[in-house]
Each structure stands twice: as structure tokens, then as C-alpha cells.
Structure 1
Amino acid sequence: KKEISFYINSPGGVVTSGLSIYDTMQFIRCPVTTLCVGQAASMGSLLLTAGAKDMRFALPNARIMVHQPSGGFQGQVTDILIHAREVESLKRRLNEIYVKHTGRSYEDIEGALERDNFMTADQAKEFGLIDKVIDKRADEAA
């Protein structure tokens, strides 16, 4: 199976849209290599870490940011509470995905995502979001 290369330079985006990309990455048979060029923030960081094991990379000056989902709602109190419960549910699901791909405990992930948490490429590797920081293409490194 030929691999798919997924270059990421993203400030993040809508959680449900990101989860549809995540689900597709997990569903297809081809391994997906992820490479952060620039930034992978918010949902972008989740997609970066969702690459195939040992195939998740970042360039040396890349920045990765993780945090919990956010949202704002208005309207009737009952509807606001419904939306708040949905965001809590999404937060739990996103934490579970980070646990799966980083090997960290749920408590570690929950703490790390409590506020905006910016990381260098090396810090993201240490945290388990990526496997390697690269500065040359594999075919040039030999």
C-alpha cells in the first residue's frame, strides 16, 4: 500500500470537521504520514498526532499547540446547557484520541490541554505527539 503524505500548517478549525478527517485517516488502508510545516494548532495538532506510528514528523521550527475545545452559545438557558454538554462530550472524546496516539494517561492529556499549550517540535516529540523532528527528506538523508 502506497502511503499518503499529509502536510499540516493549520491554526485549527471546527472540531466536527477535524474529526471527519481523523476518522477518514483511521478508516483508509494506506498509512498516513503527517508532517507539521509551520504550525499544527488545536485540531491541526490532533490530525498531526493521528498519523501512522513512526510516521509523524515536524520540521525543526514548527510549533504545535494543544488545548481543550472552545465555543460560545447564546439563547435559552436549556439550549445553552445542551450545547455545553455536547462540548464536554467532545472534550472527552478528543482527550481519548490524544491518549490513544501519544500513549500518555488521560490525566496527563487533560492537564496538558487545560489551557493553550504551545510546544516546539522537540517538546512535541517528548510529549508523544510526533515521532521525529526532521530537517531533510528521507531520500536526501542517506
Structure 2
Amino acid sequence: MTQPKAYIPNPIVIEQTARGERQYDIYSRLLLDRIVFLGTEVNDTVANLLIAQMLFMEQSDPEAPIHFYINSPGGSVYAGLGIYDIMQHITCPVHTYCVGLAASMGSLLLTAGAPGQRYSMPHSRIMIHQPLGGARGQASDIQIQAQEIQELKDQLNDIYIKHSHVPMERS
């Protein structure tokens, strides 16, 4: 038996303008102020939305900063690396903010913010851990998966070191 999905409303913001009222869903309104919010697990769908938002903001003003708020338990390494790559690729500085929890891939995205522009709220938590994976199949399949996890671990460690300037021996 599957659990029913909870209904999560998408709040609407109503603003008065010279031409009357305008309605925005909350995420569209935040986007107008160059704010993106990751408030879920990192997966392909969420990554594609965040990437599209960042590319849109770069296109509209390549100099203005993007404010990226993170409250995430982490998720897919591959999807998260896609977000990371775009953060490094775009010309806009990305200011990162931890609100609540930045765990796993969420912590890597927090670390990837512009130097001097990475923030953590007073009661937030940040958690880093090694990549996880499950292996099934023949011995050769398991070896291939183990090698991929080791390569991802090395790649993630390099990213943390690059942005934190903390050598591996101290971490």
C-alpha cells in the first residue's frame, strides 16, 4: 500500500502595480529578486529547474549576484554535480545560504558559493559524508560500481578542498 502524497500548497503573492494587481507563485516572485531556493532532496527534476533558473538570471543580468538558499538533505550526486557545474560556469556570483539543513550534496552546493559569500543561519546544520551506493550484480559489476563511487568520492573531496582551502589531512 502506498502512502498518499501530502498536498503542499504553492503560495500566491499579490502585488499592486500601476496597471492593477499582479499575481505570482512564490518561486516566480523570488526569481524576480534573483533568489532561488532548494528546499527538497536533490534529484534530476529539481536540478533541471535550478539550472534553468540560474541560466535565465545570467542571461538577464550577467553581473548581478544570484542568492541561492539551501535547505536540503542532499540527494543524487550526478544531479548535484550538474547544479555545481552551472554555478561555476555562469558569470554571476552565486551567494549561498544554509537555512535549516545542508547535508550531503546540499553541503557541496553551499560550499560552491562565491568566496566570501557563503552563509549559514544561526540554527542551521551542515553535514558532509562520503558518497553512498548499493552494489548488485556479478562481481565485475560490483567492481565497476565500487570504482565509480571511489572516483566520485575523490571528485567531491577535490571540490570541497578547492572551495574551502582546507587540505584533506585536516578534514
TM-score (norm 1): 0.75
State the one-letter code of the partner of 1:51: G
Q: How does 1:103-122 map to 2 (within 5 A)?
A: 103-109=165-171
TM superposition shift of 1:97: 0.4
* Alignment equivalent of 1:75, drawn from 129, 134, 137: 137
Q: How does 1:1-142 map to 2 (within 5 A)?
A: 1-109=63-171
Aligned length, in residue pairs: 109
The structure with more radius of gyration = 2
State the one-letter code of the partner of 1:3: P
What is the distance in 2 between the residues matched to 1:108 and 1:9? 26
TM superposition shift of 1:73: 1.2
Query: Over residues 22-65 of structure 1, what are the superposed CA-to-partner deviations in whole Å (9 max), with x where a residue is unaligned?
Result: 00000000000000000000000000010000100011000000
**Which ranges in structure 2 are unaligned for 5 or more consecutive residues?**
1-62
TM superposition shift of 1:107: 2.4
State the one-letter code of the partner of 2:91: R
State the one-letter code of the partner of 1:66: I
State the one-letter code of the partner of 1:44: G
Provide the residue aligned with 2:57 in structure 1: none
State the one-letter code of the partner of 1:24: I
What is the distance in 2 between the residues matched to 1:107 and 1:83? 26
**Which ranges in structure 1 are unaligned for 5 or more consecutive residues?**
110-142
TM-score (norm 2): 0.63
Runs ≥4 in structure 1, deviation > 3 angstroms? Answer: none
What is the distance in 1 between the residues matched to 2:102 and 2:111? 10
State the one-letter code of the partner of 2:75: G
What is the distance in 2 between the residues matched to 1:107 and 1:2? 36
What is the distance in 2 between the residues matched to 1:63 and 1:33? 18
